[in-house]
């Protein structure tokens, strides 16, 4: 994928950097793998606003994605599609028995390519296998944290982890954040980095594009009144004191992770600050 800068024919387009979407297939989403997506406007089931600055936005359909990759066999990539619910692209694959599924597309995956999942797959982009079957040094993504749970790690655009070592029932992975941690070798992972790595280069260009995504204007805490926020009030441009959220919990360096969390023993090295 590549990005391009638009000509400044309007103020919004002066800084706009868009994705070319040159590798995507021009087709509607698979109807059997989509369902309606309702909007909450930031309200919970009793109608109270629990998330601020949410509302509006374009209507979207949710694509049902196969994060488990538990169906063994060879599948052919029919199309590479855009998904409004995530930064990565999706690949629509069809198995030999005719079943179709959406999977997260990896960088380099193209229409007509064959991918497979199981214990005896080759080390090719898009193939999924247990970590114990993947060679050391391999770039992997869409990683499970517990066997059979489905991929929850390294799923966003351009992200990947590297398999550093294997010893006993654990493998050592370097995560996208820089954290080095242990993960069970029975967990599934997909070979290759996630697609749409140029997503970080995109520039929105105008506030209206955020409204299309359902994001309303966010009010700075410093300009609020003391009754509305701990950092509100004061004369002129007051600093607001220690940066903290609406509940008074400090931000910028305050650690919220529990010191006795059970998974601490699996983290060898914390992410870079």
In a domain, 126, yes or no: yes
264 CB-side CA count, 13 A: 6
Question: In total, how many domains does the chain have?
Answer: 1
Q: Which two tokens stand for residue 258?
A: 């529990």
What is the per-residue pLDDT for 22?
86
Please give the helix or strand (H or E) that residue 107 lies within, else none.
none
The answer to whether residue 229 is domain-embedded is: no
What domain range includes position 154? 3-200
Pairing of the two strands 267-269 and 188-191: unpaired
* Strands (DSSP E) found in 118-266: 128-130, 139-141, 161-167, 170-174, 180-184, 188-191
**Residue-wise pLDDT tens digits, 27-57:** 899 999 999 999 999 999 999 999 999 999 9
Average pLDDT over residues 199-210: 94
Task: For residue 251, give both structure tokens.
Answer: 């931000």
pLDDT in tens, 83-125: 999 999 999 999 999 999 999 999 999 999 999 999 989 999 9
Phi, psi of 100 (to 5 degrees): -115, 145
Residue 194 gets which letter from DSSP? B
Domain annotation covers residue 41: yes
Backbone phi and psi for residue 132, each to the nearest 5 degrees, phi listed first: -65, -20
How far is 236 from 122, CA to CA, in rounded Å?
64
Domain containing residue 13: CATH number:
2.40.50.140
230 within some domain: no
| Res 237: pLDDT | 87
- How does pLDDT run across 127-141, given as a tens digit for each residue? 999 999 999 999 999
Report pLDDT digits (tens) over 52-73.
999 999 999 999 999 999 999 9
* 58, part of any domain: yes
Neighbours of 94 (CB within 10 A): 15
Strands (E), the chain: 3-5, 17-19, 34-36, 61-63, 73-81, 90-95, 100-104, 114-117, 128-130, 139-141, 161-167, 170-174, 180-184, 188-191, 267-269
- With respect to residue 222, please indicate whether it lies within any of the assigned structural domains: no
pLDDT(75) > 90: yes
Is residue 37 in a domain?
yes
83/256 Cα distance (integer angstroms) = 32
Residue 92 CB neighbour total at 10 angstroms: 23
Torsion of CA 239, 245, 248, 253, to 10 degrees: -80
Does residue 14 form part of some domain? yes
Quote the pLDDT of residue 56: 95
């Amino acid at each position: 994928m590549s990005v391009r800068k638009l000509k400044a024919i309007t103020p919004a387009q002066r800084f706009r950097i868009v994705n070319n979407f040159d590798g995507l297939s021009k087709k509607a989403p698979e109807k059997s793998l989509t369902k309606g997506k309702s909007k909450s406007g930031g309200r919970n089931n009793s109608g109270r606003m629990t998330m601020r600055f949410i509302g509006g936005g374009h209507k979207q359909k949710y694509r049902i994605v196969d994060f488990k990759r538990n169906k063994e066999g060879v599948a052919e990539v029919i199309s590479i599609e855009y998904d409004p619910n995530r930064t990565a692209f999706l690949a629509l694959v069809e198995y030999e028995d005719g079943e179709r599924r959406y999977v997260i597309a990896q960088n380099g995956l193209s229409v007509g390519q064959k991918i497979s999942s199981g214990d005896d797959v080759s080390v090719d982009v898009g193939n999924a296998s247990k970590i114990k079957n993947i060679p050391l040094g391999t770039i992997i993504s869409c990683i499970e944290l517990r066997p059979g749970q489905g991929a929850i790690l390294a799923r966003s655009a351009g992200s990947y982890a590297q398999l550093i070592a294997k010893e006993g029932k654990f493998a050592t992975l370097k995560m996208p954040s820089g954290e080095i941690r242990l993960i069970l070798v029975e967990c599934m992972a997909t070979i290759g980095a996630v697609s749409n790595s140029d997503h970080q280069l995109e520039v929105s260009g105008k506030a209206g594009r955020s409204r299309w995504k359902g994001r309303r204007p966010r009010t700075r805490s410093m300009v609020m009144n003391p009754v509305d926020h701990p950092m509100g009030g004061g004369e002129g441009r007051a600093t607001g004191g220690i940066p903290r959220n609406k509940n008074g919990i400090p931000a910028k360096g305050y650690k919220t992770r529990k010191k006795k969390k059970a998974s601490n023993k699996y983290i060898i090295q914390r992410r870079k600050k």
